[in-house]
Amino acid sequence: MSARRRTSVIRDPVHGDVHLTDEEMRILDTLEMQRLRGVRQLGTAYLVFPGALHTRFDHSIGSLHTARGVIEAVNRNFELDPAGSVAIGEEEARVIRIGALVHDVTHVPFGHSIEDQDGIFGRHDLPHRFQAMLGPRTALGKVLRDQGVVEDVLGILEAGDRTAQVPPYWRQIVGGTLASDILDYLARDAYFTGLRLAIDPRVTGYLKVDRATQNLYVDLAKHDLLREDILSEVVRLLEARYHFSERVYYHHAKVAAGALVARAVELALAAGVVQESDFYAETDASVLELLERRVEKSPRAVKERVRSLVTRFRERRLPKRVCVFPRYENAAHQESLVARFFAPGGAKARQDVEARIADLARFATGRDVDVIVYCPARAMQLKEAGMHVRWPGVAGVAPLSQFQARVPRLADLEASYRNLWKFYVFADAPTEVLPKVAEIAAAEFAPAVNAYRPSVR
């Protein structure tokens, strides 16, 4: 009996029954994968959307399931029209599914707050992170080596050496613009946040693999005419991702909550009591305990500040916005703000300006104010329309972004994504003090334009 035969069924609230092979279950049962049960998919978003308690473990299973759906669509389309395309074999499908299953294993708790947004750590998908998590000393690495797939999986995750070359479509099925990752998390995030944003499954119905370039692509051509219906579904998927970014991923309260945790991590790192690798085995709950435990021997000011930040997070006493500098008002100043306050070197600049604003506010009001300056990366989570398409009348396949002039909604989406960028100043202070803090902070960052006025109600 083959160990790869589907033998286990997991009931998923989003996709229904998900079938896993014995070897996929072995992977899922490793310590590294089980840790993901304790890492929420949307980080601090549950403080805004109470149902958003789903985890990266759930998402990993869902990504495996949606990868299977993509593979089946590719093979079905090959059977209907094999000209210029290829099918995905059983052994290839096995490796791709495993790649989808483990693609998020390097995520740390509150990762997007302390990686993509504050830039305290490098991104979770850097090669060294995967190489460590899939190394020969980890349970996951040992299982993948026993199964003979570790090098191919590292290749899919773009973390292997140059000898581990894999076809482009292996990577694209797992992590491209139209991939198992996004197909699962959009559906899952909608379900658990309660937002009525749906993705039509037919968006994957026209996927093929180009024989010449080995790229996964959407076939938008039929009888030399554009399939407007399929193009519309692809654009709707990209629009759905934008709406989630606007409504959930960059919600100001989620950002404020993440800023509390990120600042606690930053202080602990500066005190030398933790390092990045300490976070690789932690969960959302255990990382807060780790911070509290490690700062016990730190200077008193650091210990008290970290404890205060963690306590305020646990009690949902979030700092209030006092200034917001959005890109759409500050296109001319965005680059200088990012260069000054984002990593590398941004931590000291943020701490210096926070202390200065707090001192001026204390002098002006007689009240103690805790200030947090939040500066996201310039590109944030912008994903261009990078999936390949076959466009009628154009030879070969090319990224959809190359046809932006013919699809104005793509240009609108790109501009909208850029305008999601916001530079925040948060403060923990009595309500009546906030306008004065805002005045001081706005002057500190002039000539950047503050678009927010705190309410005193």
pLDDT tens-digit series, residues 9-52: 999 999 999 999 999 999 999 999 999 999 999 999 999 999 99
Amino acid at position 363, single letter: F
Q: What pLDDT shows up at residue 378?
A: 77
Mean pLDDT of the chain: 92
Least confident of 221-225, 257-261, 382-386, 408-412: 382-386
Tens digits of residue pLDDT in 100-141 = 999 999 999 998 888 766 778 888 788 899 999 999 999 999
Interval 340-361 mean pLDDT: 90
pLDDT at 42: 96
Q: How far apart are CA 219 and CA 234, in angstroms?
A: 11
Structure confidence at residue 6 (pLDDT): 66
Average pLDDT over residues 272-294: 95
* Distance (Å, whole) CA 186 – CA 116: 19
Residue 187 has pLDDT above 90, yes or no: yes
CA distance 110 to 59: 16
Q: Quick: pLDDT tens for 300-335.
A: 999 999 999 999 999 999 999 999 999 999 999 999
Model pTM?
0.93
In this prediction, residue 383 carries a pLDDT of: 56
CA distance 393 to 403: 12
Q: How many CB atoms lie within 10 A of CB 345?
A: 12
Q: Are 371 and 437 in contact (CB under 8 A)?
A: yes
- Residue 382 pLDDT > 60, yes or no? no
- Are 33 and 102 in contact by the 8 Å Cβ rule? The answer is yes
Degrees to nearest 5, angle at CA 97 with 182 and 240: 10
Query: What distance in Å separates the CA atoms of residue 20 and residue 60, rounded to the nearest whole number?
Result: 12
Q: Is the pLDDT of residue 4 over 80?
A: no
* Residue whose token pair is 């000291």: 348
pLDDT score of 355 more than 90: yes
pLDDT score of 197: 80
- For residue 3, pLDDT over 90 is answered with no
In this prediction, residue 2 has a pLDDT band, given cuts at 50, 70 and 90, of very low
Q: Mean of the pLDDT values across residues 53-77?
A: 97
Average pLDDT over residues 424-430: 96
Q: Percentage of the chain with pLDDT > 90?
A: 80
33: Cβ–Cβ under 8 A, 6 or more apart, which residues? 27, 57, 60, 101, 102, 105, 140
pLDDT at 93 over 80: yes
The predicted-structure confidence for 397-406, as pLDDT tens digits, reads as follows 999 989 989 9
Collect all residues with Cβ–Cβ distance below 8 Å to 22 and sequence separation of at least 6: 3, 4, 5, 7, 8
Q: State the average pLDDT over residues 139-168.
A: 89
Q: What is the pLDDT of residue 5?
A: 65
